[in-house]
Structure 1
Amino acid sequence: MKLTFRSKVFLTLLFNSLVVVIGMLLIAGFYAARNFERYVVKVEERKVNGLLELLSREYELAGDWAPLRESVGQWLLILGMRPGRPHEETGGAEESARNGAGVSETEGGRRARPRYVLFDRNRHALSPTDSVSADGYDLKAVRAGGKVVGWLGVHERPRPSQPLDVEFLRHQASTFRAVGGVAVVVAIVVTWALSRHLLAPVQELVKGTRALMSRRFETRVEVGSDDEFGRLASDFNEMARTLERYERMRRQWLADIAHELRTPLAVLRGEIEAMLDGVRDVNREALESLHGEVLHLSRIVHDLHDLSLIESGRFQAELKPVDPLGVLDETLKAFRTRFDQRGMEIRAPDFAREAPVHVRADPDRLRQLFSNILENTLRYGEAPGWIEIGVETDPGRVVIHLEDSGPGVPEECLDRLFDRLYRVDRARSRAQGGSGLGLAICRSIVESVGGRIGAARGTSGGLRITVEFPRL
């Protein structure tokens, strides 16, 4: 039989409660009996002291033990602690004596030892009821005139045996059992309520998890406390918000890919159908147009493939110490002709004079990173214009700034500039031939080596991209 987590928690709490209740009852019963026995012992000590005082007084009055040896009633009066009263008025004393004080009782058909026995100074029994040996008795000295004149023998009893004492202990045991039964019932009720209360957040999390499994990413659970369950609920809600955000991005991603592929495919289809219908001649100009659309499709597919490989960690990269400033200098030299043709100036320090710095990266990926940024400037920067390169280094990092002369990017678009297929102006971007994946690839490359990349408005109103690498 498989128990649910709720049942396990309930049984665990109930077991602990029962152990505590039973332990408390056993301890309380043990100490109650022990303290009662101590109380009986103290009462017994007071009674023995009283008997010793009475026996000493009787000896001083009579001068010897003859009255006690000859009179049972006198012995009973002393045991009842009522000296000087007629024997007819000593019903309580006689009953006390016969209940184990001085008169022999029977136990299981045999005679039991008397509770109290008086011995002379030579330890010979003087009680008129019995003649017993002093062995097995705790002897208390009876003194008169400063001398030992006799001994009071007290037979020790291991446990309270008087009827009232036994009845009291039996009543106490019944009370403890009743209290224990009530405590067990209360423990069951409280444990059930407590387990239900404690596991209520778990039930909410279970329902929320099942909702997420059904792709209802808008699901949230209520955070009702600041304990571990409350933090778990907060983490669950954060996870749900992340999944909801990624779901929106996934849908937007699919829509953007469909849109990006639809346009060149529609152009290809239109031009091919026009050629088939004889509307357009099959000449070099028509073929170059078709070739341009195919290249655009190939660029989108190639960038998507690179992006997926980088983000999945399956991209074949050779990580080794490399100088990013040297790679940037080589990339700038490769782009300088195209910048000159567009009438755009490259403002960069003389990297040959810069002290070499090293980061752990793939040189080809770094070259792709800088190429994408420079390509972005060539496509969307206004001519005449410029791009300015700045470098900051410290013992722990290398920071490279690339700022162009504009046009800038609206403030609300800066955070999404590195998203896949995101374009500030879709129509203008498509006319420039971009795939919308260049900067997304840049972010993936930088983050794959533990760096960071960000965008901000430049001091001249253009776009400022900052790339930061951890330095070796």
Structure 2
Amino acid sequence: MRLNIFPKLFLAMLLATIMVVLVMVVFMNWSFRTGFTAYHHAEELDKVQELAEVLGTEFANHNSWDFLRDDPQQWEKLLGDLGESAPLPPQHPAGLTGQPPPFPPPGALPPDRAHLPPPDRAKLPPPDQDKPPPLAVRLSLRDIDQQQVVGDFRHVGVSPGDRSGRRDVTKVEVRTSGKLVGWLMVWQGGVVTNGLARSFLDQQVRNLYLIALFATGLSFLLAILLVRHLLRPVHSLTQGAQTLTAGKFETRIEVTTQDELGRLAQAFNTLAEALQHNEIMRQQWIADISHELRTPIAVLRSEIEALLDGIRQPTLERIQSLHMDVLGMGKLVEDLYQLALSDSAELSLVAEPVDLTAVLTDTALSAQARLQEKHISLTTRFDPQQPLWIRGDAERLRQLFSNLLGNSYRYTDEGGQVEILAQQQGNKVMVSIQDSAPGVPDAALPRLFERLFRVDKSRSRALGGSGLGLSICKNGVEAHGGTIQAAHSPLGGLLIEVVFPAESA
């Protein structure tokens, strides 16, 4: 079964939170129990240390341990002074007597039910299996020869010779006037004997589990809210993309955050604006192309029909006029083809170091004869011996500057002038071509590089302009990594400034 992103994110966040809570609960439970047990053991050891000091004083008074061996009640009295009074198991000078201890090991039946028959035992409440023995039973006094004086670990399930049990046995020295006279041994083994302490410990553990349960429920709620918050922009993007696919490019998404999702929504709106702009340009482009082709085709059709109907005679002048109309249409189609190539990045460029001074010199010589037909003077303001190196395609650069000079030829009045300026400024190479009157209106300057835009359409058609020359020039400059812009010329006409990145020879 395929899951959507909502259950995937929800389950991932919920499981991660639950795992963190479980690990936290286990660790905190272990840490709390360990710390609390260590605190309790330290508290017990303080009592044992106090008992060891008392035993050292008593040993000095009696000069032996016989006072405890002969009278075990003295041991009970010493424990009672510490608040640890408890009934003592039967003792024997040589060790254990074999009599049943009053503190049976965990799990054994207590004396109050051991004599009962099995049916009566079942009626009694179960024994407290977890109740640990008191401190008095877990103490053992040994003399300097490691012989037991009083106390026995067997009553808590630890044999004196059990090494595994001795890992939890703490030995406290008993000294008299600085002399070691015995050891007071206590078996702790991780038990907590104080009833109030055990109640506090159990309560804290229960509270910890309740907190873990509450944290799990809260994480469940937060996971739902957070996943919905994260997926709301995704749903908006999905709906917006479907709307764009249907051709509704005016679609926009509300940007409500400044995070990655907000930037994604902003990028979507930028894409929608670009698509809308391109769609408007496409419609305008189709309308302009249709208009540009309709006029010459209508002229050709009317002229040919007049010749076919015998209204006009097929004279040489009329045939030459038709030929000029065909050439104009051919020029428009060729310009459209070149523009399409530059738009699709299929206009091949051979990128290599090019001396722009040499390219401008050759282009100026080629255009000079044509400019002289209209008595237009051409002036170059650069040193032919000073190379200006850029990286590009020499042939494409010649076409670029030929088109710019051709534009000056068509739209500069007879007897005017054209100037070419080239220079290097830092890491840029700047080329400007300016001409004399007529000028361009201020409102038309930003639109000169738009396709099929003409300042004076009737005059442009009469001069053979298709309205695509400057658009082709713009694509050619940008293909070389440069920029192009138009401004008013000090000579009274138009100034075209081209900037290329400079390249060391």
How does the TM-score come out when normalised to structure 1?
0.84
Gaps of 5+ in 1: 84-91
Q: Deviations over 1:56-112 (max 9, x none)?
A: 5666788876775566655434323379xxxxxxxx8347999xxx95423445999
Report the Cα distance in structure 2 between the residues aligned to 1:237 and 1:105, rounded to whole angstroms.
82
2:470 is aligned, of 439, 444, 449, to 439
- Asked whether 1:93 is paired with 2:85, we answer yes
Residue 371 of structure 2 corresponds to residue 339 of structure 1: yes
Q: What RMSD over aligned residues (CA atoms) do the two structures have, in Å? A: 3.6
Q: What SS is found at the alignment partner of 2:484?
A: strand
**1:157 aligns to what?**
189
Matched letter for residue 181 of structure 1: L
Assess if the C-alpha contact under 8 Å between 1:25 and 1:180 holds in 2. yes
In structure 2, the gaps of 5 or more residues are: 91-100, 111-132
**Aligned match for 2:443, one of 393, 399, 412:** 412
* SS of aligned partner of 1:420: coil
> Is the deviation greater in 217-226 or in 110-119?
110-119
- Distance apart, 1:405 and its partner CA: 0.9
CA contact (8 A) 1:103 1:114 kept: no
SS class of match (2:373): helix
Give 1:384's aligned amino acid: G
Task: Report if the CA contact (8 A) 2:382-2:422 is conserved.
Answer: no
1:105 and 2:137 are equivalent in the alignment = no
Counterpart mapping for 1:210-221 below 5 A: 210-221=242-253
Question: What is the match of residue 49 of structure 1?
Answer: 49
Q: Is the 8 A contact 2:41 2:188 kept in 1?
A: no
Change (3 A) 1:253 1:53: same
Structure 2 partner of 1:89:
none
Task: Give secondary structure in 2 for the equivalent of 1:2.
Answer: coil
Which stretch of structure 1 is more off in the superposition, 409-418 or 390-399?
390-399
Distance across 1 between alignment mates of 2:333 and 2:242: 36
Per-residue deviation, 1:360: 3.7
Instruction: Please give the alpha-carbon distance, in whole angstroms, between the structure 1 residues aligned to 2:492 and 2:387.
Output: 31
Q: Which moved more, 1:50-59 or 1:425-434?
A: 50-59
Amino acid in structure 2 at the alignment position of 1:267: V
Gap change, CA 1:221 and 1:44, over 3 Å in 2: same
Report the counterpart of residue 374 of structure 1 in structure 2.
Answer: 405
1:455 Cα deviation from its structure 2 partner: 0.9
Specify which of 139, 144, 150 is matched with residue 116 of structure 1.
Answer: 139
Contact 2:52–2:174 (CA under 8 A) maintained in structure 1: yes
125-134 vs 425-434, which deviates more? 125-134
Other-structure match for 1:87 = none
Within 5 Å, give how 1:36-75 maps onto structure 2: 36-55=36-55, 68-69=68-69, 75=75
After superposition, the C-alpha distances for 1:384-435 in whole angstroms (9 at most, x for unaligned) are 3211222213564432211111211122322221122111222322232211
Q: In the alignment, which of 380, 399, 405 is matched to residue 348 of structure 1?
A: 380
Displacement after TM superposition at 1:249 (Å): 1.5
Aligned equivalents of 1:129, 1:350: Cα separation in 2: 115
Q: Does 1:455 align with 2:454?
A: no
| Cα 1:244/1:97, change in 2 over 3 Å | farther
**Equivalent of residue 267 in structure 1, options 275, 299, 304:** 299
For residue 393 of structure 1, give the secondary structure of its aligned residue in structure 2.
Answer: strand
Q: Does 1:223 align with 2:215?
A: no
Deviations 1:254-307 (A, max 9, x none): 111111111111111222222333333333233222222211111111111112
Find the aligned partners of 1:274 and 1:233 in 2 and give their Cα distance. Answer: 61
**Secondary structure of 1:343's partner?**
coil
CA distance in 2, matches of 1:414, 1:4: 53
Shift of 1:246: 1.9
- TM-score, normalised to structure 2's length? 0.79
Partner of 1:174: 206
Instruction: Please report how far the alpha carbon of residue 8 of structure 1 lies from its aligned counterpart in structure 2 after TM superposition.
Output: 3.3
How far the C-alpha of 1:14 sits from its partner, in A, is 2.7
SS at match of 1:463: strand
CA gap of 1:53–1:465, structure 2 versus 1, over 3 A, is: same
Sort the Cα spacing of 1:350 and 1:53 in 2 relative to 1 into closer, same or farther, 3 A: closer
Distance 2:500 2:144 in 1: 108
Report if the CA contact (8 A) 2:380-2:421 is conserved. yes
2:318 matches 1:295: no
Residue 434 of structure 2 is matched in structure 1 by 403
Structure 1 residues 47 and 380, CA, compared in 2 at 3 Å: closer, same or farther? Answer: same
Alignment partner of 1:404: what SS? strand
Alpha-carbon distance in structure 2 between the residues aligned to 1:293 and 1:264? 6
Report the counterpart of residue 189 of structure 1 in structure 2. Answer: 221
Aligned-partner residue type, residue 440 of structure 2: V
* Cα distance in 2 for residues equivalent to 1:13 and 1:182: 16
Name the stretch that deviates more: 281-290 or 324-333.
324-333
* SS state at 1:465 partner: strand
Q: Look up the match of 1:306.
A: 338
Alignment of 1:135-150 (within 5 A): 138-142=170-174
Alignment of 1:27-42 (within 5 A): 27-42=27-42
* Percentage identity across paired residues of the two chains: 38
User: Contact 1:123–1:134 at 8 Å: present in 2 too?
Assistant: no
The 2-side partners of 1:444 and 1:129 are apart by 102
Cα deviation for residue 36 of structure 1 reads 0.9
* Residues 142 and 151 in structure 1, CA contact (< 8 A), matched pair in contact too: yes
Q: Is the 8 A contact 2:37 2:190 kept in 1?
A: no
Q: Corresponding residue for 2:3?
A: 3
Whether the 8 Å CA contact 1:69–1:128 is kept in 2: the answer is no
1:328 equivalent among 355, 360, 363: 360
Aligned residues: 460
- Does residue 255 of structure 1 match 2:287? yes
Q: What is the rounded CA distance, in whole Å, between the counterparts of 1:16 and 1:160 in structure 2?
A: 35
In the TM superposition, what whole-angstrom CA distance separates every residue of 1:126-183 from its partner, at most 9, and x where no partner exists? 5499999976565544456776666544234244356655554443333222211111
**CA offsets per residue over residues 4-26 of structure 1, 9 Å max, x none?**
33433333333332233222222
The reply on whether 1:208 has 2:231 as its aligned counterpart is no
User: Paired residue for 2:278, among 241, 246, 249?
Assistant: 246
Q: Secondary structure at the match of 1:217?
A: coil
Inter-partner Cα distance in structure 2 for 1:95 and 1:273: 137
Partner SS for 2:438: coil
Q: In 2 relative to 1, CA 370–127 (structure 1 residues): closer, same or farther, beyond 3 Å?
A: closer
Deviations 1:11-45 (A, max 9, x none): 33333322332222222112101111111111211
Change in 2 beyond 3 A, CA 1:187/1:95: farther
Label 1:57 to 1:303 Cα distance change in 2 as closer, same or farther (>3 A): same
Deviation at 1:193, TM superposition (A): 1.7
AA of the residue aligned to 2:12: T
